[in-house]
Chains A and B, each alone.
Chain A
Amino acid sequence: DGGITQSPKYLFRKEGQNVTLSCEQNLNHDAMYWYRQDPGQGLRLIYYSQIVNDFQKGDIAEGYSVSREKKESFPLTVTSAQKNPTAFYLCASSRGQGNSPLHFGNGTRLTVT
């Protein structure tokens, strides 16, 4: 089955540590996205990438970094500069054309203490 895999499902880190969240897709989609969701809130866009080796900041990119070295992979690093990193992180992909809908993974819940 084609889809998006995010791992791990739950992640715990100490404050001050960087942590990398994995996102892999086998849908052959060109575009990939990272969203953050806080309790009871909608999704906010962190970064997106339309093609390999290129990515753009979303609305809340501060304290995060990404890379897109392969079409199928779009890892997100939550750095120690992110002031409130505890959240639910969602990765998505799309064909990257016009009105292409987003396909989401099942998320990683990050807790930083």
Chain B
Amino acid sequence: LAKTTQPISMDSYEGQEVNITCSHNNIATNDYITWYQQFPSQGPRFIIQGYKTKVTNEVASLFIPADRKSSTLSLPRVSLSDTAVYYCLVGGYNKLIFGAGTRLAVHP
């Protein structure tokens, strides 16, 4: 099972771009990379998913280099409401392992 490594915490200010990098050296050929966001006392919420190169949706972008051993979640112009824990997961639907995630704090 692919294990992921993320920074434990990050700080940012409103209006800045935030990039959270996840390392997954043992990613398998068929594995996708998925990011979730979790607010206190709520279930995680799907943000974005990708396999290679770049994926963008209305809330974030995901950058995946050619070797797929890492990925970077990019949050443009964060606001206070983006303060949350962000999880990077690698794998299929039946072998998803959640690490401790990255605790992002956005300051005014």
Question: Is A97 part of the contact surface with B, judged by Cβ < 8 Å?
Answer: yes
The interface residues of chain B lying within 8 Å CB-to-CB of A44 are 98
Whether a CB of chain B sits under 8 angstroms from the CB of A98 is yes
Report which of B32, B42, B45, B98 forms a contact with A99, defined as CB distance below 8 A: B32
A94 to B99, CA, bound (A): 19
Kindly specify which of B15-23, B59-67, B68-76, B88-96 makes contact with the partner chain: B88-96
C-alpha spacing A37/B42, complex, angstroms = 11
Q: Does B83 contact A (CB under 8 A)?
A: no
Contacts of A109 in B (CB 8 A): 41
Residue of B nearest to A50 (CB): B94
Write the nearest CB–CB distance from A1 to chain B, whole angstroms. 14
Main secondary structure of the interface of A (DSSP, over half): strand
> With A and B bound together, what is the CA distance between A45 and B46 in angstroms?
17
Q: A11-19, A73-81, A100-108: which lies at the B interface?
A: A100-108
With A42-B87, A42-B99: A104-B93 Cβ-Cβ less than 8 Å:
no
* Choice from B32, B45, B94, B99 contacting A104 with Cβ under 8 Å: B45
CB distance from B99 to the nearest CB of A (A): 5
Residue A46, interface by CB 8 Å: no
Residue with the greatest number of chain B CB neighbours at <10 A, chosen from A88, A91, A99: A99
Q: Interface code A45-70, partner B: CB below 8 Å = 1, 0 otherwise?
A: 10010100000100000000000000
- Which B residues are in CB contact (< 8 Å) with A90? 43-44
Question: A residues within 8 Å of B by Cβ?
Answer: 4, 31, 35, 40-45, 48, 50, 56, 88, 90-92, 94-107, 109
Q: Which residues of B contact A (CB under 8 A)?
A: 30, 32, 34, 36, 41-46, 49, 51, 87, 92-94, 96-101
11 contacts between A and B (CB under 8 A): A88-B41, A94-B93, A97-B93, A98-B30, A98-B93, A99-B32, A99-B34, A101-B49, A103-B46, A106-B43, A107-B43
